[in-house]
Amino acid sequence: MSAISLQNISRHFGDFAAVDGVDLEAATGEFLTLLGPSGCGKTTTLRMVAGLEQNTGGRIVIGDEVVSDAERGFFMPPERRQLGMVFQSYAIWPHMTVFDNVAYPLRIRRRPKDEIQQRVTKALKLVEMDSFASRPAPALSGGQQQRVAIARALVFEPRVLLLDEPLSNLDARLRTQTGDEFRALQKRLGITSLYVTHDQGEAMSLSDRVVVMQKGRILQIGAPEDIYQRPRSRAVAEFFGAPNLVETTVRGCKQLANGLFELDVAGQGWSGTCRAGEAFASGVPALVMLRPETLTLADAATGGMSWTGEVASSIFRGAQRSLVVKTVAGALNVDTTAFAHPAVGSQVAIVADAAAAWALPATRQG
Amino acid sequence: MSELSAPSPTGGAMAGARVGATTPARGLSGLVSRRGLGMAALILLLSFLTIYPFSMLMYGSLHSTPPGMAGEYNLDGYRQLMTREALGILLNTIGISLGKTIPSLGLAVFLAWIIARTDTPYRDKLEVLITLPFFIPPILTAMAWAMLGNPQVGLLNQVFKWATGANYSPINVYSWGGVVWHMVQYSTPFLFLFIVDVFRAMDPSLEESSRMCGASRLRTFGGITLMLMLPALTNSFILSFIRGMENFESPLFFGTPAKITVITTEMYNSINHHATPDYQYATAIGFAVMALMFLLVFAQWRILRGRSFATVTGKGYSPSVMKLGKWRWVTFGFCALFFAVTVVLPVSQLLIGSFFRFFGFYQWDMLTTEHYQAVFSSSEIWRAVTNTMMLGLVGATLTMALGAIVAYISVRTKWRGRRVIDALAWLPWMMPGMVLGIGFLWAFAMLPGPIPIYGTIWALLLAYLALGTPVATRVMTGAYAQLSFDLEECSRVHGASFFQTLWRILVALAWPSFAVGWVLTFFGIMRELSASVLLYSVGSEVLSVVLMKLWANGLAEQVSVIGLLMMLLVILFRWVQIKILQRYVTTLGA
């Protein structure tokens, strides 16, 4: 049974569709991330699950309970859906102490006093904020407010936890640390989580599955590795980093044992093999995605997917060095170790890892 | 020290732009001294507008005779304050002000909630209408309500008698209730203007998170929304309470006939209606009022210290709007009713009153335009119109210019003495118009012979300047605060001098606020009565004073004519103000 099930849900503002026919299932205990640029409809989708916005089409089921059904005109208000939510601004009430903030959901549910005391303390311990219980909320740092917001969302053991860009207001270092801690906590509690972010790194490192959205529609759903290494379309590929997309023509195609396909592709003056997720006919154009970190420098071109070219620019990034190399396959971005140091203007050879080269249909949009 | 000897980089850039790089040191010292002179002049001007009348007030309260006459120093004025009668007046004032502030606050919160948080139809239009009473000079509606609610011939009572056949009058505005009712009409829109913005600016996720925690909409409103607004509500409550104690028109028109006296009318009476004006007593009251105001402002500061919750975020979602279903027409009706009662009713009374020969006798054969002829042919009224317009145009411009300079120095520079300037500009905030009026009365009388301000139109101009400066400064402070320093610094970096920057960037970007503040100040001058009535003399009457004199002479019909003309002006200016706001402020915000 799915913990959350979105069935063809839409949200229209007049003629504009913020969310357009989204289907999505989240398994119990799963960490599902909605990822996309701002305005792609991910937050609206989350808010429709929360009940803070009403879907104009489709059905939302949480557990085995229908919470919203546009066709039947049924809508359950947010307070009755039993969901926990963490907001981007944390929404910690400044007129209350940390304890009162976390106790609020239990007081609303009229739990006895000693139970409130015990459960709030437990929730605060979970996020390591128990020593701050009597602090007034405005006296907390951003990271601390974030922990309190998580404690408040978890304290009444909600069916699902919703998180709306909860890390985006933290500074970079705290963001990674808090994200990792939260992921560990989520796994330990086994709570189904629906997470919204525009940060690819967060989506990759936290999620069981990632849902890439654009213009109100889902482009692709899959494990982080799938989305990153085996995108279905150019839009998904380009959403992560700066991949090289090389125009080629398919010359041959054969299915591999693991269900993938191996393609024989040719560009201008070169040819090689790459992987694909679907069968391609011979003679059709294909875009081959080469992630910059899968390209390596070599002494000389070795045939297959390898090229020589002139280094057009070289940027030191600390852990790695980003090169742009002009080849017959176009200007290629190459991420190499920071110790390799080819001079700008010098000739280098680049070799692609055939297992990491991934073909996309050249014509598919979105 | 650091300010003068080690000029800030901005000072250096300014000097460099002016005199070139070869003689930076000389250019700099010349600039510093010029700035010092400017600051000194500004402090002097502000002191003349505030400290000077303030000290005259103190002198007056301790001296047995008006300035220039032989007398002695004593405490008689304060001794009079200690009587049971004076204490009763003080309690009366507090009672009336509390009596009007509490219902006004409730009404304002309800109206603000309707406008900001429900799907009531035509909310944007209703908002303009609800706030309109705030811009109408109170003396106009006071006179209109005196005609509407007169126990003998008031229109409302006549309609009631006609409709029910009863032979008694249910409404009498000359009462405690009448005073409070007239004040409520003004403090509700005043409070509304504050509260509606608080409703709008609140981060919606603070409320949404409460809903997600399982709280219903109602519980969220009571437990979260109102609690978060508490500092702002306290703040506006105290502000409104202070304004209630300063109010002059309502107790003058409705309280005095019913023998209800408050502080302001007591001051007015002790100067104008005693056989020999009792200046010492009046100034002693004035001083006591200021002490009280100071305590209130201090209390406000103490209560609110550290309690202004930052609930505002820049995130895109606006607070959720509640769908009221059929009830939205009820809320619409409520807002419309408020407008009808506070604006339509008094304006209609003025309209009716202006066309009948005698107010109160509404028969067809009494229709006339003779009042219009009388008003338009009266040289005294024309003079008052000219005076008011001149004072309004010049006064508003000067006040806003002063406010713009004070605000700029206090929020945008680190110049020495900026805190003094800021404090001086704020001082009149604690001086009711009546108190400032008395202070100026004596201040001008004490000036040496060659400076003839006493009894001239200049006296009024200076008083208006002092009264308007706090608001003007506040408006411009808000305008500058919205402009990021980057804009200014960017302009400087790209080679513009200090004054070019001030002119190009700040004036160009802050002018909508300037215009809005200008209209606000203009309204303030047009409606001003309590200081004007003390400072005018023959030849320098303003409209509000003329209205009061006509009213005292029983010429309610001519009052109606002038009132209507002033109403037209109010609506015209308010319309212009809204147009400016819509065109510039919203596009700047978006």
All domains of chain A, ordered by start, with CATH? 2-235 (3.40.50.300), 243-361 (2.40.50.140)
8 Å CB contact of B214 and A82: yes
Q: Answer yes or no: are the C-beta atoms of B77 and B283 closer than 8 Å.
A: yes
Name, in order, each residue with C-beta under 8 angstroms of A307's C-beta and a sequence gap of 6 or more: A270, A301, A325, A327, A328, A329, A332, A349, A350
Q: Is the pLDDT of residue B18 over 70?
A: no
Backbone angles phi, psi at A160, to 5 degrees: -140, 145
Is residue A203 scored above 90 in pLDDT? yes
pLDDT in tens, A281-322: 998 999 999 999 999 988 887 777 889 999 999 999 888 899
Cβ within 8 Å, pair A79-B206: no
Exposure of A208 by Cβ count < 10 A (0-12 exposed, 13-18 middle, 19+ buried)? middle
B216/chain A closest Cα distance in angstroms: 6
Residue B31 φ then ψ, to 5°: -70, -45
For the cut 60, the answer to whether the pLDDT of residue B587 exceeds it is no
Interface residue A54 vs chain B (CB under 8 A): no
Show Cβ contacts of residue B589 under 8 Å, excluding neighbours closer than 6 positions.
Answer: none
Query: Among A131-135, B271-275, B332-336, whose mean pLDDT is lowest?
Result: B271-275
Chain A residues with beta carbon closer than 8 angstroms to that of B119: none
Q: Do B228 and A94 touch (CB under 8 A)?
A: yes
Range B396-421 average pLDDT: 86
Beta-bridge partners for A350: A297, A307
B389 CB burial (10 A radius; 0-12, 13-18, 19+): middle
Give the amino acid at B542: V
Cβ within 8 Å, pair A77-B217: yes
Residue B210, min C-alpha distance to chain A (Å): 8
d(CA B386, CA A258): 94
- Residue A168's identity, in one-letter code, is S
B310-342 pLDDT tens trace: 554 444 456 677 788 889 999 999 999 999 999
CB atoms near residue B510 (< 10 Å): 23
> Across the interface, do B211 and A109 touch by the CB < 8 Å criterion?
no
Of A127-131, A246-250, B30-34, the poorest mean pLDDT is in B30-34
Closest-CA distance of chain B to residue A84, Å: 6
Show me where the domains of chain B are located: 86-273+331-366
* Whole-number Å distance between alpha carbons of A358 and A288: 5
Burial category of B577 from C-beta neighbours within 10 Å (exposed 0-12, middle 13-18, buried 19 and up): buried
A74-108 burial code (b ≥16 CB/10 A, e <16): eebebbebbbbbbbbbbbbbbbbbbbbbbbbbbbb
Q: Which tokens is B332 given?
A: 């619409």
Q: Which of B567, B582, B496 is nearest to B17 (CA)?
A: B496
Residues of chain B neighbouring A91 (CB-CB closer than 8 A): 203, 205-206, 208-209
Angle between helix B51-62 and helix B279-304 axes, rounded to 10 deg: 130
The neighbouring-strand residues paired with A86 are A163
Taking one residue from A and the other from B, the number of pairs with CB-CB distance under 8 angstroms is: 74
Closest to B42 in 3D by CA, of B517, B472, B467, B402: B402
Instruction: Return the CATH fold of B86-273+331-366.
Output: MetI-like fold (1.10.3720)
pLDDT score recorded for residue B449: 64
Q: What is the mean pLDDT of chain A?
A: 91
As a whole number, mean pLDDT of residues B209-226 equals 91
User: Would you call B587 exposed, middle or buried from its count of C-beta atoms within 10 A (0-12, 13-18, 19+)?
Assistant: exposed
Q: Which residue has the higher pLDDT, A329 or B179?
A: B179
A245 versus B371: the higher-pLDDT residue is A245
For residues B86 and B32, which has the higher predicted lDDT (pLDDT)?
B86
For residue A160, the cross-strand partners are A83, A192
3-class SS of residue A31: strand
- Mutation pick from B209, B216, B321 vs chain A, by most beta carbons of A within 10 Å, is B209
Q: How far apart are CA A308 and CA A329, in angstroms?
A: 10
**Confidence band of B505 (pLDDT split at 50, 70, 90):** low
Q: Where are the alpha helices (DSSP H) in A128-243?
A: 142-154, 172-189, 200-206, 224-229, 234-239
Quote the pLDDT of residue B68: 65
Contact assignment for B203 to A91 by CB distance below 8 Å: yes
- For residue A36, the model assigns a pLDDT of 92
A29 touches chain B (CB under 8 A): no
CB B91 within 8 A of CB B259: no
Confidence of residue B107 (pLDDT cuts 50, 70, 90): very high
Q: Coil, strand, or helix at residue A197?
A: strand
* Cα B145 to Cα B350: distance, rounded to the nearest angstrom: 9
The mean of the pLDDT values for chain B is 81
Is B335 within 8 Å of B111 (Cβ atoms)?
yes
Chain centre to alpha carbon of residue B476: 15
